[in-house]
Amino acid sequence: MKKKTIRYSLIMLIFLISAFSCDSCEDDIDWNKLPAETHEGNNNIGCYVNGNLWAAYNNKSPFMSPDIWAALTKDDNNMILLIGTERRDTETSLSFVVMNPRENEKLSIQEVGFNLLKDEACNGYYQNIGSIFITKLDTIKNIVSGRFSFTLKCKDSTSVVNVTDGRFDISLFKEY
């Protein structure tokens, strides 16, 4: 009986430490400015959507799936960079598909998954809009960093959404 109580107490202690450590991880985040432009795999992304700041930082909880991810895959003779992010607190998300990513070159974004506004007409998938400039693509240290921007015309709407000053620094997962 005593072993069971000790085991239960240790499990609860570990759970509480991880839960409170996650709260303290967000204390150093300044939600009023874009993440710094870094090249270290810090797992952050930010941009301005029609002039309003939107940013996401990876949760540090070992019990939750990542909020930000990047994967490099191969399809026939092409390399494909996939970047995805979501903010659970605002139920917003953003994703990109970039074919044959290269450092220090302005590239087209093949597909954008956009869900950053409450306007349903603007949310969805868009093809061949905007550009991305990859400042670091390190497949040894598994880091991808860069800048992005795009303008999209909302489906079934006359609204236009401008996403500017986008930047990201993400740990890279290779699937090949």
Measured between alpha carbons, how far is residue 50 from residues 101, 105, 118, 148, 151 in Å?
Answer: 27, 25, 13, 14, 10
What whole-number distance in Å separates Cα of residue 18 and Cα of residue 20?
6
- The domain ranges of the chain are 31-174
- pLDDT at residue 122 in the model: 82
Q: Of residues 114 and 11, which shows the higher confidence score?
A: 114
Give the mean model confidence (pLDDT) for residues 15-44.
Answer: 68
Q: Of residues 31 and 53, which shows the higher confidence score?
A: 53
pLDDT tens for each residue of 105-146:
999 999 999 888 776 778 888 888 899 999 999 999 999 999
